[in-house]
Structure formats: C-alpha cells, structure tokens
C-alpha cells in the first residue's frame, strides 16, 4: 500500500492556540473525525485540563485515549475518509519516558507509519526548544527527544504550521 493520506504537524508554545487551530482543520476537512488524546491524568489539575479539552472539542469526535501505544492505535484506526488528530506528541514523549520506553524507536515507528497512511493525520506538539536550557537532565532529555521527533516528522509532513498568539504561520506545504 502507498500513502494516500496527508500529514500535518502543528507546533507552538503552551496556550498558543495549537489545539483549537488543529480542531478547526479537522472539522473543515469534512471527514469522519477521530481524536487521539495522549494525556495521562496524574493529578487533579490534569484531570481538569482533560475535561476542559473534551468540553471545548464538543461532539462529533470519536475519542481514543492512548498515552503510549500511539503507533499501534493509529494503524488500527487508519482509513480513507477519516481525519485523525493526535494531541499531543509532547505528552506522548513524556509517557514514553515515564515508562522507560525507547523514544527514538517509537518516533521512527511513527514516521514509518506515514508511508502507508490512508487518513488525514494532524499531529499537535509543543515546541519546547525556544526557551532557556532546562536545569535538569530529564528536562534536557525531554527537550532533545521532542526536537528530534519534530525534525523527523517535519521532514516528511505535507504541511507544518507554527502557532503563536493564536495565529498560524505556515512553514511547509
């Protein structure tokens, strides 16, 4: 099978408007909408964030909560006529780190999946490399993993957007 799908990467800082922009792209596609949520609720604040995201998103989505096995779930639900929004890759990386998984291998598997993709795929991720150098090893490793994954995806994506202050800057496509 060859790729008939379309890959869009949406990057930006925290509260930049990435999710809202990505949800609008998905809705405007007119395709059957699937939402993959990668967040894990480790505390009350995260429970509230997840509930707020769900409420903001509204109806019309098939939601999949997938904190770790993203590639497998994408392969399972990939189909023509669907748009799949993954929000977000940085939480996925966090979960992989917490579970002591091989992040580079997981990222490579994700990019390989694009080769046979049938759906429209929108990937949301936080750009974390624009600030100061983190003061601890785990945070530096996280930043480096995210940066490498973003580069891998951007190299093969059809479109890449950077969102700042709710405004999209089209970087590719």
The residues that are catalytic are 53
97: alpha, beta or left? (left if phi > 0; alpha if psi -120 to 50): alpha
Long-range contacts of 66-72 (CB under 8 A, 24+ apart): 66/36, 66/37, 66/38, 67/38, 67/39, 67/40, 67/91, 67/92, 67/95, 68/92, 68/95, 68/96, 68/99, 68/101, 70/36, 70/38, 70/106, 70/110, 71/106, 71/109, 71/110, 71/113
Q: Which one-letter DSSP state was computed for residue 127?
A: -
């Amino acid at each position: 099978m060859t790729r008939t799908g379309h890959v869009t990467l949406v990057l930006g800082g925290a509260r930049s408007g990435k999710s809202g922009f990505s949800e609008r792209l998905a809705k405007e596609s007119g395709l059957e909408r699937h939402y993959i949520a990668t967040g894990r609720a480790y505390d009350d604040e995260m429970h509230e964030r997840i509930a707020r995201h769900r409420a903001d998103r509204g109806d019309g989505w098939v939601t999949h909560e997938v904190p770790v096995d993203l590639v497998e779930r994408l392969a399972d639900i990939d189909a023509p006529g669907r748009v799949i929004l993954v929000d977000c890759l940085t939480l996925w990386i966090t979960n992989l780190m917490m579970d002591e998984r091989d992040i580079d291998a997981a990222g490579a598997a994700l990019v390989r999946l694009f080769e046979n993709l049938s759906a429209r795929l929108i990937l949301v991720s936080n750009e974390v490399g624009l600030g100061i150098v983190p003061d601890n090893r785990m945070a530096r490793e996280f930043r480096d993993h995210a940066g490498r994954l973003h580069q891998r995806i951007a190299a093969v994506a059809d479109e890449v957007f950077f969102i700042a202050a709710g405004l999209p800057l089209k970087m590719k496509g």
